[in-house]
Amino acid sequence: MSDVPTLPAADRALILGSSSRYRRELLARLGLPFEVAAPDVDETPRPGEAPPALARRLALAKARDVAARFPQAIVIGSDQVADLAGQPLGKPGTHERARAQLRAMSGQTVIFQTALSVVCLASGFEQSDLAAVEVRFRALDDGEIERYLRAEQPYDCAGSARSEGLGVALLDAIYSDDPTALVGLPLIRTARLLRAAGRVLP
């Protein structure tokens, strides 16, 4: 029998398994104390892997990776993949890749698949969810793409457009049942899974 005490859910540390400052800022809105730990996960898509499956797999892998280091904690993992006609678009990383992404999305509807997993090894809790956000891009010319990229440099953002910033000017419409999902962490679903894991929220 293990000598490690079993903690009530309310006493467990809450850890965000992410290096994203956007997710950190979003989770802070729930008013719960939490820590941050960066997961060590290979985010390379598998051959033929659909964007929703990729997002779900990576979110769970991130949560499990951090939970393995902090087994008593409740760990949140999340991942976002931009889905353009079934093709995954991740973080561009460079100006050239961001330009190519925005050219490809010009005049198109893109589904931003934001997956979420909550894991606690000590209690055996593990649940996941997925928020799909439909985003319609305006027809963009090369000049406005270039001006936008120079102004905002969204190279760490899946799909190369920050809807919470100047990137909203590139869009025609956003449809979502979880408004913060597009920024990187669906808070309605996060609150739901944390309550299921035993945390008390307002």
Catalytic residues: 79
CA-derived radius of gyration, the chain: 18
Q: How many Å apart are CA 83 and CA 133, to the nearest integer?
A: 10
72 touches 50 (CB < 8 A): no
Report CA 148 to chain centroid distance, whole Å: 23
For the domain that residue 16 is a member of, what is the CATH number?
3.90.950.10
- 37-61 pLDDT per residue, tens: 999 999 999 999 999 999 999 999 9
pTM of the model: 0.90
The total of structural domains in the chain comes to: 1
| β strands within the chain, DSSP E | 14-17, 35-36, 74-84, 87-89, 109-120, 125-137, 171-175
Domain that holds residue 93: 9-196
Asked if residue 127 belongs to a domain, the reply is yes
- 91-119 pLDDT per residue, tens: 899 999 999 999 999 999 999 999 999 99
Asked if residue 4 belongs to a domain, the reply is no
